[in-house]
Amino acid sequence: MRVEENSAAAEYVQGNEDRELRRLMLQAQVYAPLTEGVLRAAGLKPGMRVLDVGCGVGDVSFLAAELVGPTGEVVGVDREPRVLACAQRRVESRGLSHVRFQQSSLESLPVEAPFDAIIGRLVLMFQPDPVTFVRRMVEHLRPGGVLAMHELELAAMGLAHPKLPLFNRVWGWMLPTCERVGIKVHMGMELVSTLRRAGLVVDDGVVGGRLGVTPDAETTHALVETVRTLLPHMERLGVALAMEVDIDTLAARLTAELRANGGVLVPSLMVGVWGHRPGPV
Ligand SMILES: C[S@@+](CC[C@H](N)C(=O)[O-])C[C@H]1O[C@@H](n2cnc3c(N)ncnc32)[C@H](O)[C@@H]1O
């Protein structure tokens, strides 16, 4: 996908190859329990109509579908045809009649029947203007309705114990690359102010991460796949050389480092914040 350094558009940097679809699903597996907790705490319940903005291959929509049940409805929207086609295949194979996917950017989504809840994960961090984006989301929300977002706080850099030099190096490549391609590295911690500036009443929030309890846990692989996606930008920006990253051996090297040190890893921290649209219910 197109990303220009410091571009005002700050396009979503990750490409759309099959490998990328698999990466999204792997990442979704890692974050699923955290996102489910955020959606539950935000008040998603049976019978609600929910809009999932930037639904990708559908994982957050599927979590919401569990919570709203067959008497509710989930609509996932995404502007990328390839991810949406994948989400569509997945909903068909699951036989879920209360989930549907629609290809559209949020900006061109017609405002129709308002939703009881609007949710999004890892979508604001790629927007040039997150406040404007949330304002647009709110146009689809009924007064009193819930808006819940789950975003990375990349600047928190994850946690490793004991100190792991290779893991720290990986973050030394990731963070400046993300910043320089226009990703909002503080999106997690900026959620509260973003929602408030968009006119919402903020109700609560949580911070969480997945602990990789075995050296070769999904958390390690998800981190490596993100590095793989960013690698062309790392090279272009002079942040790291392909040779030193050595992407095809990185997972094994991180795993070996964790094993040798008896270490545990929380590759990244996610912040979930939810609020509601003021006004007569
Ligand atoms: C990192 S992915 C996250 C996917 C999904 N929410 C998840 O957590 O698994 C971000 C998604 O947001 C979509 N997206 C970004 N900006 C968008 C916009 N303006 N309208 C609709 N979709 C958008 C991208 O196409 C991409 O699929």
Cα of 137 from ligand 1 centre, angstroms: 13
Residue among 2, 12, 52, 152 to mutate when testing ligand 1 (max atoms within 8 A of CB) = 12
pLDDT tens-digit readout, 27-71: 898 899 999 999 999 999 999 999 999 999 999 999 999 999 999
Protein residue with its CA nearest to atom 10 in ligand 1: 123
Does 26 score more than 80 pLDDT? Answer: yes
Q: Residue of the nearest CA to atom 27 in ligand 1?
A: 56
23: three-class secondary structure by DSSP: helix
Atom 11 of ligand 1, residue of closest alpha carbon: 54
pTM: 0.92
Question: What is the reported pLDDT for 94?
Answer: 92
Q: What stretches of the chain adopt beta strand conformation (E)?
A: 49-53, 73-78, 99-103, 115-121, 141-153, 159-161, 201-208, 264-266, 269-276
pLDDT over 60 (residue 191): yes
Q: Whose CA is nearest to atom 18 of ligand 1?
A: 105
Atom of ligand 1 at shortest distance to CA of 14? Answer: 1
Task: Tell me the mean pLDDT in the region 258-278.
Answer: 93
For residue 75, the CA-to-ligand 1 centroid distance in Å is: 14
Q: Whose CA is nearest to atom 20 of ligand 1?
A: 105
> What is the model's pLDDT at position 20?
82
Pocket-forming residues, ligand 1, beta carbon under 6 Å: 12, 24, 28, 54-56, 59-60, 77-80, 83, 105-107, 121-123, 126
Integer angstrom CA distances of residue 75 from 28, 98, 115, 221, 270 = 18, 8, 9, 30, 23
Using most ligand atoms within 8 A of CB, pick from 14, 35, 62, 79 the residue to mutate for ligand 1. Answer: 79
Q: Which residue has the tokens 């959606």?
A: 39
- Pick the atom of ligand 1 nearest to 24's CA: 9
Mean pLDDT value of segment 166-194: 95
Q: What DSSP assignment string belongs to 124-185?
A: GGG-S-HHHHHHHHHTTEEEEEEEEEEEEEGGG--EEES--HHHHHHHHHHHHHHHHTT--T
Q: Which residues pair with 160 in a beta bridge?
A: 265
**Domains by residue range for the chain, with CATH:** 18-276 (3.40.50.150)
Output the six-digit token pair for 29: 């597996």
